[in-house]
């Protein structure tokens, strides 16, 4: 397509038509979008009118996004030689690329140069540099830069604070995190939902659930409505600490505040409930999930099917398998393995073998534990001959029996 466009340009030029800078810039942009930077540069070279800053920014962006910072700097030199002065968009492109290619130290040098030339960088440019410093893990440097920003004529905004806050939390410095939040409030910078979520997530990872709930309750006072990402770390923390009553309590609080759980919320709760043996409650919550229009995924069904199978409730597990299929979700190795092992433990060997063969049909490598489960079921049912045949089949399929294979057989 760009070749045709360039051909049209050549024909127009040959006919004596005068093309303006907008037409050339559109053509250059098309070349850049197609990844044809060399063609874009050729168009730049043959322009019959002076390129403007938008033309140059288009090429600079494409070169920088392609990791060609050195070549971008060469184009920049040409731009300056032609007395086409840079704007904030140009500096933004160059600062981003310098951070990525040469590190935040070089980006800060470029920032100093921008200021010396009398251009006042905006908060967007400062935030790019701050993000680069924090990504490099230079926390102390980030805090210094944050404190210096007002002297450069740029007040830190909520994005600046969130970037530094995230870095502080990654270093585990929770006292500094709280201090930064207080400083932010004192300076009149209103926190966002993201600010609070960074802190909640951090305190939950540290096991400081009380502090996390305090932060959650602070949110409405500062005009922020908690979302699912605010509640999910708390629910995960309560589940991890086996405080299921608290987890359910916060699920109810979440819903009462018209914050609707997402699939992460449900998966967290269902996994914990199944591990805790509260599978009936897990099934009830799974049904709620469907009624509320939140479609369960593989992991959701597999978690509950596994929980039911382990508790010997294989009929309910098979019902869920059917529901899963009705919704267009194809069972995988985890689904079938849970059912095979559960049915074998219950002595429902024929059903277990049926699902075992369905599992084989998936063409996946079966775990020895799955073979052993069927073996145990056959032995418990006093079907020793079938168990021996199954060992032979196992070997023929390239699955080497383990000590557990023979131990289970002898114990049964």
Tell me how far apart the alpha carbons of residues 72 and 68 are, in angstroms, rounded to a whole number.
6
**72 Cβ neighbours under 8 A, 6+ residues apart:** 59, 60, 63, 64, 93, 94, 97
CA distance readout (Å), 239 to 246, 248, 276, 278: 8, 9, 9, 12
Tell me how far apart the alpha carbons of residues 271 and 36 are, in angstroms, rounded to a whole number.
50
Residue 373 pLDDT: 85
Query: What CATH architecture is 87-190?
Result: Alpha Horseshoe (1.25)
Residue 365 pLDDT: 74
Residue 403 pLDDT: 62
Tell me how far apart the alpha carbons of residues 27 and 13 are, in angstroms, rounded to a whole number.
14
Say how far residue 172 (Cα) sits from the centre of its chain. Answer: 21
Tell me how far apart the alpha carbons of residues 345 and 106 are, in angstroms, rounded to a whole number.
65
* Three-state secondary structure call for residue 82: coil
**Torsion-angle region of 120 (φ positive above 0: left; ψ -120 to 50: alpha; else: beta):** beta
Report, in this order, helix, strand and coil percent for the chain, each rounded to 5.
75, 0, 25
Question: How close are the terminal C-alpha atoms of the chain, in Å?
Answer: 73
Residue 407 pLDDT: 58
Residues of the chain with pLDDT under 50: 410-411
The domain segmentation of the chain, as residue ranges, is 1-85, 87-190
Residue 119 pLDDT: 83
Q: What is the DSSP letter of 330?
A: P
pTM for the model: 0.80
Residue 369 pLDDT: 83
Residue 209 and residue 176 in contact, taking contact as beta carbons nearer than 8 Å? no
DSSP per position, 166-231: HHHHHTT-HHHHHHHHHHHHHTT----HHHHHHHHHHHHHTT-HHHHHHHHHHGGGGT----HHHH
Tell me how far apart the alpha carbons of residues 219 and 137 are, in angstroms, rounded to a whole number.
28
The sign one gets for the Cα dihedral 125, 127, 133, 135 is negative
CA distance readout (Å), 215 to 47, 207, 235, 258: 58, 14, 14, 19
Task: Kindly calculate the radius of gyration of the chain based on its CA atoms and give it in whole angstroms.
Answer: 31
């Amino acid at each position: 397509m760009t070749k045709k466009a360039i051909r049209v340009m050549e024909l127009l030029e040959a006919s004596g038509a005068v093309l303006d800078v907008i037409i050339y810039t559109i053509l250059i942009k098309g070349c850049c979008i197609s990844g044809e930077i060399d063609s874009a540069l050729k168009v730049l070279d043959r322009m019959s009118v002076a390129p403007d800053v938008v033309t140059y920014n288009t090429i600079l962006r494409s070169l920088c996004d392609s990791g060609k910072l050195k070549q971008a700097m060469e184009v920049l030199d040409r731009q300056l030689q032609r007395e086409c002065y840079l704007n904030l968009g140009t500096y933004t492109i160059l600062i981003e690329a310098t951070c990525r290619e040469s590190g935040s130290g070089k980006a800060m040098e470029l920032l100093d140069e921008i200021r010396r030339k009398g251009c006042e960088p905006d908060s967007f440019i400062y935030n790019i540099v701050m993000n680069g410093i924090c990504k490099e893990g230079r926390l102390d440097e980030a805090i210094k830069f944050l404190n210096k920003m007002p002297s450069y004529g740029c007040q830190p905004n909520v994005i600046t604070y969130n970037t530094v806050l995230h870095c502080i939390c990654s270093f585990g410095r929770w006292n500094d995190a709280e201090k930064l939040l207080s400083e932010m409030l004192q300076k009149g910078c209103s926190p966002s939902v993201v600010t609070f979520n960074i802190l909640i997530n951090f305190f939950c990872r540290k096991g400081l659930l009380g502090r996390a709930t305090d932060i959650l309750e602070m949110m409405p006072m500062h005009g922020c409505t908690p979302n699912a990402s605010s509640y999910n770390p708390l629910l995960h923390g309560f589940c991890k600490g086996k405080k299921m009553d608290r987890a359910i309590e916060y699920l109810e609080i979440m819903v009462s505040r018209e914050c609707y759980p997402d699939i992460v919320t449900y998966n967290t709760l269902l996994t914990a409930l199944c591990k805790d043996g509260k599978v009936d409650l897990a099934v009830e919550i799974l049904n709620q999930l469907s009624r509320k229009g939140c479609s369960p995924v593989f992991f959701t069904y597999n978690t509950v099917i596994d929980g039911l199978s382990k508790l010997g409730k294989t009929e309910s597990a098979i019902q869920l398998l059917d529901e899963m299929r009705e919704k267009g979700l194809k069972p995988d190795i985890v689904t079938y393995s849970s059912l095979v092992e559960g049915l074998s433990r219950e002595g429902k060997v024929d059903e277990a073998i049926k699902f075992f063969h369905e599992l084989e049909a998936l063409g996946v490598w079966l775990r020895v534990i799955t073979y052993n489960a069927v073996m145990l079921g056959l032995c418990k049912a006093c079907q020793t001959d079938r168990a021996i045949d199954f060992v032979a089949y196992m070997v023929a399929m390239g699955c080497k029996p383990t000590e557990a294979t023979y131990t289970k057989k002898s114990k049964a």
